Structure 1
């Protein structure tokens, strides 16, 4: 993985390269950024650049012996740790290394859901167990085989619980020429004892324009298609890549008709949409459809708050929110957005789609027509 292969993040790339030039490579670093921003890809590109035998001013060479092994994730001094779904108490990340390499090389922006699908994990709980913590300590106690540095990249340290305390000493006082790179998405879920021992590298979410350019140049999408998918992804390239598989769906028209039925309190139309159009979409399409609605509600709130400079919408979406905002206020838009987020939560837990979308529709009727909001105590009604 080279820096040139990573979408956007120009400032982060420059910072990482400069640390190598200035010989200020911190032994423990925390790459913190939202899903789909490229944190994992950046960590691997950084490690490859450090170990490259013929590095340039802006990137690794991609051709030396070290780079060729990094490109396949088989360098003997490159180690990985990540959440997995253990079948046995002695399972470690190494048990699933072939699946890991395949998943990353296929998509450097993968998220936990895609990793779960690779392992056919169903609804099992991911974690990094004590056996893996001991495995990390063992790996980092070895001397480098070929490179100056040995590197361990730990993806999603949020899934380290009390087992993470076993790593404190190796993080704080690693053996010489050891590089410990953690790639996280949620700082609040990481052990404070781990955070305090690492140097933070903040990674912002990607701009819509960067994702749009990537989809047009690398995936061959037409400008209008790339613009809509970039808008739907909200800075998450992983989401944009998932949406590629469903790009023929016109979520705008379906969402418009669904909301119109709810606003009119048209029971027959609501049932027709929930049992037909929405329930038959398929799980991933349903989640993408709801994400589209959440993004539209966010733009509605910006429109109502009279902040046009922050609104970046295709023409038909802009026309929709300008009309729909006449019957909406901030409280209603926020309530609808929360309802759609709740629906995604239930879909991920295999709720019956007919029951789910009918329930959501009835709640939207109450919000739009009667200014009545769901009580928080009812938020888990479908679990």
Structure 2
């Protein structure tokens, strides 16, 4: 993978390239960024750049023997470690390497949920076991086969338990020309003993415009790209997931729902909840996620922070009309109800009952101007 194939992150790319060209390659680095930020493809592109036989000023050449093998994830000096669902105590990452290559080549912005779909997970918990730690030590104890560097990319070190301490010596005193790249999402879940031995590379969430531009360049309409980029909240994994789902205009659906609830149109609300129940779980989650984001933007407008609002023009116009009939307390209460509904959809709640209940709560908030029992909001 080349840097030019990765969405956004121009500043991070420049820093990584400069570290190689200035001979400042740290042997153990932690690529820390939220899901969908591109930290895994950045680590792969960085490893390819380090190993490239004809490095260009701003990227690997993409044509040398090393780059061609990296593009297929089949270079003999490139190794991966990742969480998996072990069936036997001796299982390690190599047991699942074919599935891993298939998943990663299909989507470099892979998430654990996507990875789970390639494996027979059953009810097992993903982890990186002691057998895999021993395999990592074995791999990194050997000299590079072809390239100047032997590279191991460890995806999601958060799933290393205490067994991860077995790696401390190889991380601290590796063989010459060994590059150990950890790709993580949550710093607090990584063993402190490992954190202290790595150089941190912070990777921010993607910019709205970067995701929108990528989507329009790959066949999405301007409106669809704007909506998906807004909904994904800087997460390219979520954006790609939404592209693969049945298209829905979440804005129109959500505003229609709020208007029904505001007018207390009982029979229409019931019919509409039936419609929402048929969307499918992923579309229901995206619909609720859109609602949460839209109400959050309304809260910013109500707070006088319109300069922080990132809504397309048509949706911004609707939001400005909404704040004329909704105050901050109501907006916060609706947002809380939507967040609870999203939580329950993820856990396979009955959608028909769930959306009817949420609709009734929103009717209480907007029409009757009362709040759900136990809610801590400023009274109207």
TM-score exceeds 0.5: yes
Shift in Å, 1:373: 4.0
* Cross-structure match for 1:41: 41
What is the CA–CA distance in structure 1 between the aligned matches of 2:198 and 2:370, rounded to whole Å?
A: 48
* Cross-structure match for 1:156: 156
CA deviation string 1:316-375 (max 9, x = no partner): 311221122233333433343333233333222222222222233333334444442464
Q: Would the aligned equivalents of 1:152 and 1:180 in 2 still touch at CA under 8 Å? A: yes
Superposition map of 1:198-277 within 5 A:
198-217=198-217, 219-246=218-245, 248-274=247-273, 276-277=274-275
SS in structure 2 of the partner of residue 29 of structure 1:
strand
Shift in Å, 1:215: 0.9
What is the CA–CA distance in structure 2 between the aligned matches of 1:95 and 1:352, rounded to whole Å?
A: 38
SS in structure 1 of the partner of residue 315 of structure 2:
helix
Superposition map of 1:10-29 within 5 A:
10-29=10-29
Question: Paired residue for 2:349, among 342, 351, 355?
Answer: 351
SS in structure 2 of the partner of residue 127 of structure 1:
coil
Question: Are the structure 2 counterparts of residues 50 and 374 from structure 1 closer, same or farther at C-alpha, using a change threshold of 3 Å?
Answer: farther
Question: Are the structure 2 counterparts of residues 267 and 130 from structure 1 closer, same or farther at C-alpha, using a change threshold of 3 Å?
Answer: farther
Structure 1's unaligned 5+ residue stretches are 377-383
What is the CA–CA distance in structure 1 between the aligned matches of 2:365 and 2:85, rounded to whole Å?
A: 40
Question: Are the structure 2 counterparts of residues 304 and 30 from structure 1 closer, same or farther at C-alpha, using a change threshold of 3 Å?
Answer: same
What is the CA–CA distance in structure 2 between the aligned matches of 1:285 and 1:110, rounded to whole Å?
A: 19
Superposition map of 1:315-354 within 5 A:
315-354=313-352
* Cross-structure match for 1:363: 361
SS in structure 1 of the partner of residue 323 of structure 2:
helix
* Cross-structure match for 2:92: 92
CA deviation string 1:201-256 (max 9, x = no partner): 11111111111111111x12222222222112111111111111236211112111
Question: Are the structure 2 counterparts of residues 112 and 334 from structure 1 closer, same or farther at C-alpha, using a change threshold of 3 Å?
Answer: farther
Question: Are the structure 2 counterparts of residues 183 and 272 from structure 1 closer, same or farther at C-alpha, using a change threshold of 3 Å?
Answer: same
* Cross-structure match for 1:75: 75
What is the CA–CA distance in structure 2 between the aligned matches of 1:126 and 1:359, rounded to whole Å?
A: 34
Shift in Å, 1:154: 0.9
* Cross-structure match for 2:378: none
CA deviation string 1:263-284 (max 9, x = no partner): 334443332222x211111111
* Cross-structure match for 1:127: 127
Q: TM-score, normalised by structure 2?
A: 0.93
* Cross-structure match for 2:63: 63
Q: Would the aligned equivalents of 1:225 and 1:247 in 2 still touch at CA under 8 Å? A: no
Q: Would the aligned equivalents of 1:80 and 1:153 in 2 still touch at CA under 8 Å? A: yes
The yes-or-no answer on 1:101 pairing with 2:90 is no
Backbone CA RMSD of aligned residues:
1.9
Question: Are the structure 2 counterparts of residues 103 and 298 from structure 1 closer, same or farther at C-alpha, using a change threshold of 3 Å?
Answer: same
Question: Are the structure 2 counterparts of residues 329 and 17 from structure 1 closer, same or farther at C-alpha, using a change threshold of 3 Å?
Answer: same
Q: TM-score, normalised by structure 1?
A: 0.92
* Cross-structure match for 1:380: none
Shift in Å, 1:128: 1.6
Structure 2's unaligned 5+ residue stretches are 376-380
Residue range with higher mean Cα deviation, 348-357 or 196-205: 348-357
Shift in Å, 1:122: 5.6
SS in structure 2 of the partner of residue 118 of structure 1:
coil
Shift in Å, 1:123: 5.4
Question: Are the structure 2 counterparts of residues 299 and 348 from structure 1 closer, same or farther at C-alpha, using a change threshold of 3 Å?
Answer: same
What is the CA–CA distance in structure 2 between the aligned matches of 1:374 and 1:135, rounded to whole Å?
A: 55
Residue range with higher mean Cα deviation, 42-51 or 154-163: 154-163
